[in-house]
């Protein structure tokens, strides 16, 4: 999470909120009362939604006058979903998915102490999956049963491999699990052979080196795609 996030009060003006969002390069501002209690949240899109369109008949001075009078209490979302500071990361992510929201304010003793956003979740996902580490990334399809993870680890150990990351996902059937594991120090082909001998189906094996996978940038003005 981001501790001690940038906030605004209910009396903050439209211009103050927009300035903070642009200056801090953030997309959401928790709104707090004078006693520090969370009372709402305002997003960048909320500010844009109350701004007059370019087709308005109002003059520039009239637009600025109206926006200057606008306070956050009139713009903010008053029904805010939040969690306590003891909420596990995966539960915070689940709540965000279930409620289709992009952030969660973090409260302690009723006071705002942080905020977690989808960017924080992505950063954590990269760490969990060993996204910045080199190694052999294996995707495995296994039957869910006791001792399967231990059996996989044993085969990796036999090849002098070290596990950098491991994650499990639901398989195509209720009795199956998809496992991704990133390994260093183990030779690719012998490891795959050992795993398949242990009744582990290897769906793919990718050597991740250098900076990892290189994304493509689509730019129709220049060429179909180019590498970053």
Hey, which residues does 8 pair with through a beta bridge?
31
Q: Domain 131-208 carries which CATH code? A: 3.30.70.260
Q: Which CATH number fits domain 2-124: 3.40.50.2300, 3.30.43.10, 3.10.580.10, 3.40.50.150?
A: 3.10.580.10
Mean pLDDT across 197-212: 87
Q: What is the model's pTM?
A: 0.79
C-alpha 165/C-alpha 135 separation (Å) is: 10
Q: Would you tell me the crossing angle of helices 188-197 and 148-158 to the nearest 10 degrees?
A: 140
What confidence category does residue 46 fall into, taking pLDDT thresholds of 50, 70 and 90?
confident
Task: Indicate whether 55 pLDDT > 50.
Answer: no
Three-class DSSP category at 99: helix
- Rounded to 5°, the CA angle 147-148-151 comes to 85
Q: Would you tell me the crossing angle of helices 89-99 and 118-128 to the nearest 10 degrees?
A: 130
Residues of the chain with CATH 3.10.580.10: 2-124
Task: Indicate whether 185 pLDDT > 50.
Answer: yes
What confidence category does residue 108 fall into, taking pLDDT thresholds of 50, 70 and 90?
very high
What confidence category does residue 62 fall into, taking pLDDT thresholds of 50, 70 and 90?
low
DSSP code string of 40-69: EEEEHHHHHHHSPPTT-SS-HHHHHHHHHH
What confidence category does residue 213 fall into, taking pLDDT thresholds of 50, 70 and 90?
confident
Question: Which residue do the tokens 């499990």 mark?
Answer: 168
Of 32-41, 139-148, 173-182, 203-212, the one with minimum mean pLDDT is 203-212
C-alpha 224/C-alpha 49 separation (Å) is: 34
What confidence category does residue 217 fall into, taking pLDDT thresholds of 50, 70 and 90?
confident
Task: Answer for the pair 130, 181: CB distance below 8 angstroms, yes or no.
Answer: no
Task: Indicate whether 100 pLDDT > 90.
Answer: yes
Residues of the chain with CATH 3.30.70.260: 131-208
What confidence category does residue 227 fall into, taking pLDDT thresholds of 50, 70 and 90?
low
Tens digit of each residue's pLDDT (9 = 90 or more) over 136-175: 999 999 998 899 999 999 999 999 999 999 999 998 888 8
């Amino acid at each position: 999470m981001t501790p001690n996030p940038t906030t605004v009060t209910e009396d903050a003006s439209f211009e103050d909120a927009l300035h903070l969002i642009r200056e801090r390069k953030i997309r959401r501002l928790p709104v707090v009362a004078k006693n520090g209690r969370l009372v709402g949240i305002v997003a960048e899109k909320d500010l844009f939604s109350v701004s007059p369109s370019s087709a308005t008949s109002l003059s520039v001075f009239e637009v600025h006058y109206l926006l200057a009078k606008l306070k956050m209490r009139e713009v903010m979302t008053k029904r805010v979903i939040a969690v306590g500071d003891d909420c596990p990361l995966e539960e915070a992510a689940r709540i965000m998915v279930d409620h289709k929201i992009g952030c969660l304010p973090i409260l302690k003793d009723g006071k705002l102490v942080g905020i977690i956003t989808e960017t924080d979740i992505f950063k954590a996902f990269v760490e969990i999956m060993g996204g910045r580490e080199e190694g052999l990334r294996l995707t495995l399809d296994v039957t869910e049963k006791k001792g399967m993870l231990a059996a996989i680890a044993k085969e990796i150990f036999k090849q002098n491999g070290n596990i950098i990351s491991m994650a499990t996902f639901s398989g195509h059937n209720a009795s199956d699990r998809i496992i991704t594991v990133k390994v260093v120090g183990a030779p690719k082909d012998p490891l795959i052979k050992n795993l398949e001998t242990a009744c582990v189906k290897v769906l793919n094996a990718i050597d991740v080196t250098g900076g990892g996978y290189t994304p493509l940038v689509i730019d129709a003005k220049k060429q179909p795609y180019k590498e970053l």
